[in-house]
Amino acid sequence: MGLGSFPSTHEHWLGMLGMHGTWTANHAMDKADLIVCIGARFDDRITGKLDEFAPHAKVIHIDIDPAEISKNVGAHIPIVGDAKQVLPKLTREYRALQTDSSRLDDWWNTLRGWQDAHPLYYEAGENGEIKPQFMIEAMHRATQGDAIITSDVGQHQMWTAQYYGFDKPRRWINSGGLGTMGFGLPSAIGAKVACPDEQVVCIAGDGSLIMNIQEMATCVSENVPVKVFLMNNGYMGMVRQWQELFWDRRYSSVDMGSSPDWVKLAEAFGAKGMRAENSADLEEQMVAALEHDGPVLLDVRVAREENCYPMIPPGNAARDMVEAPRGAVS
């Protein structure tokens, strides 16, 4: 028996399922015999090829909007209501069954076996090159895994969900199914104002940050000391990846060029600007940014043409995902 629940987001929530979900997560959904879907709309980023999505599963779909029920994936048990009211009742009914939890042991063993056989991995950078995945791992170490993380939309968002390792709830703020580039910095400001004693980091891509960089002025004028860690690969990274893989590298309108100079731009707003170009001192620079008393923009120059894997090609079933090339290290 497989039991899964979806948040009301799409491709960025990689722990459950999505275009860049883990091998285990995607296969768990493909083999599940029961899916409990809470507040999600079963869009194409979740399902992949619709008529091959979770072919063995019965679906319990909980949503406050009746129009979402069975719109894309048929619900065997539809429940229309507020999740805050529905879930406690559902939990009470489940616990009253007094079922034997050991019946799931074989399923959990299968999942753990898949995790061991198909871990997330990437090729290590050479000669100080900063791989995007390494940047996220360094960010986790620098923050000691204890920060509110906001993001924009793109590859950096996928890698953060994969490699940061969130240990607490309410620490990962995204724009959800809207997929809003430019969301990261203003949401970081809001998080810091709401939780002034918490460390708040905006992980941004250069394509997204340029869309709302003026909010750095808000950080300075209102003394909101958010830290922006910019994953700078000089591209609209997710679009570039699609053009590489599905359009024979015929790149169009994805190269960001050398402008702006992010350090100078941060300083022009009155914030602290920093740049990291070598993996050897990246974590040290992140710690320095976090310890600075004021807003900081750390421009991290990462590998330019790194791809985010696993990936479900458009129009394919989840089981047909493409993994990163072998011969890599985790």
- DSSP for 125-175, please give it: PSTT-B-HHHHHHHHHHHHTT-SEEEE-SSHHHHHHHHHS---SSS-EE--
Per the model's pLDDT, the better-predicted residue between 35 and 99 turns out to be 35
pLDDT for the residue 324:
81
The residue out of 88, 119, 150 marking a domain boundary is 119
Same domain assignment for residues 253 and 173: yes
Residue 74 lies in a domain: yes
Burial class for 293, CB neighbours closer than 10 Å (0-12, 13-18, 19+): exposed
User: Are 237 and 158 contained in the same domain?
Assistant: yes
Query: Over 90: is that where the pLDDT of 34 sits?
Result: yes
For residue 145, the domain's CATH number is: 3.40.50.970
238 compared with 323, residue with greater pLDDT: 238
Q: Which of 65, 93, 119 represents a domain boundary (last residue)?
A: 119
Q: What is the mean pLDDT of residues 133-159?
A: 96
CATH number at residue 114: 3.40.50.1220
**What is the per-residue pLDDT across 73-89, written as a single tens digit (0 to 9) for each?**
999 999 999 999 999 99
Residue 89 sits in the same domain as residue 207: no
Q: What gap in Å lies between CA 3 and CA 32, rounded to an integer? A: 7
Residues 88 and 234 in one domain: no
pLDDT at site 18: 59
- 65 vs 50, residue with greater confidence: 65
What is the tens place of the pLDDT at every residue in 101-119? 788 899 999 999 999 999 9
Same domain, 270 and 177: yes
Pair 38, 153 in one domain = no
Q: Is residue 1 part of a domain?
A: no
| Domain-located, residue 6 | no
Do 29 and 142 have their domain in common?
no
Q: Is the Cβ–Cβ distance between 188 and 202 less than 8 Å?
A: yes
What is the count of structural domains for the chain?
2
Residue 199 lies in a domain: yes
CA distance 322 to 304: 20
* Closest by Cα among 48, 60, 50 to 17: 48
Residues 108 and 168 in one domain: no
pLDDT value, residue 14: 34
Is residue 327 in some structural domain? no
The 10s digit of each residue's pLDDT in 189-221 is 999 999 999 999 999 999 999 999 999 999 999
Range of the domain at 90: 23-119
Same domain flag for 220 and 147: yes
Would residue 308 count as lying in a domain? no
pLDDT per position as a tens digit, 299-326: 999 999 999 888 888 778 878 778 887 6
Specify whether 248 is located in the same domain as 285.
yes
Q: Which of 119, 148, 182 is the last residue of a domain?
A: 119
HSE value, Cβ hemisphere, 13 Å, CA-based, for 73: 27
Residue at 293 is within a domain: yes
Instruction: Kindly indicate the confidence band of residue 258, based on its pLDDT and cuts at 50, 70 and 90.
Output: confident
Q: Is the pLDDT of residue 288 over 90?
A: yes
Pair 171, 294 in one domain: yes
Binned at pLDDT 50, 70 and 90, residue 94 comes out as confident
Tokens linked to 246: 């599905």
- Contact 191/219 with Cβ under 8 angstroms? no
Residues 76 and 154 grouped into a single domain: no
Higher pLDDT, 7 or 208: 208
Percentage of residues in the chain having pLDDT higher than 70: 93
Residue 127 lies in a domain: no
pTM of the predicted protein model: 0.86
> Tokens representing 170?
């309410």
